[in-house]
Amino acid sequence: MSTTSFKVDGQSVKIDGDPQMPLLYALRDELGLNNPKFGCGLAQCGACTVHVNGVATRSCVLPVSAIANQSITTLKGLGTPEHPHPLQAAFVEEQVTQCGYCVNGWLMTAAALLKSNPRATEAQIKDGLKDLKCRCGSHLAILRAVKRAQTALLAKGALA
């Protein structure tokens, strides 16, 4: 047992527990967050994606010990219902979600992708999202939403 300190959505937190506990379990079970989801537990589906210092990371396989003193952003920290991130707004406008289970992974991965490559081509966006899974088959709507958000972010100057 050990104590690990880090930030989640801008708030300092401490977790007491096994340093090998997956970050996903710490976020959901210890901190009560419900945005990153448990999908496969093998970092293959993306439902558990969070940002670690701005990098999209699968939290189901990342031990808490690896994120000491790091900054974690969850979907809750990406935007709020009152002030959604342009990606969140675009997902609503494009009516992307069906069951919604995978949306966390798509939004968090797309946000990191657009931050690192603001002028990504459609092919680059597809490549950056290729490892995510959506069993409902919303892939085309997701791509439209990411492109819509990219256009909005570029127009606002939010992506430099």
pLDDT digits (tens, 9 = 90+) for 87-124: 999 999 999 999 999 999 999 999 999 999 999 999 99
CATH 1.10.150.120 fits 86-156, yes or no: yes
Break the chain into its structural domains and give their ranges.
Answer: 2-74, 86-156
CATH number of 2-74: 3.10.20.30
* Alpha-carbon span 13 to 10, nearest angstrom: 9
pLDDT tens across 136-154, in order? 999 999 999 999 999 999 9
If residue 149 lies in a helix (H) or strand (E), which one and from where to where?
helix 139-156
DSSP assignment of 112-128: HHHHH-TT--HHHHHHH
Contact 103, 88 (CB under 8 A): no
pTM to 2 decimal places: 0.94
Structure tokens at 61: 């396989």
Q: What is the dihedral of CA 131, 135, 140, 143, to 10 degrees?
A: -40
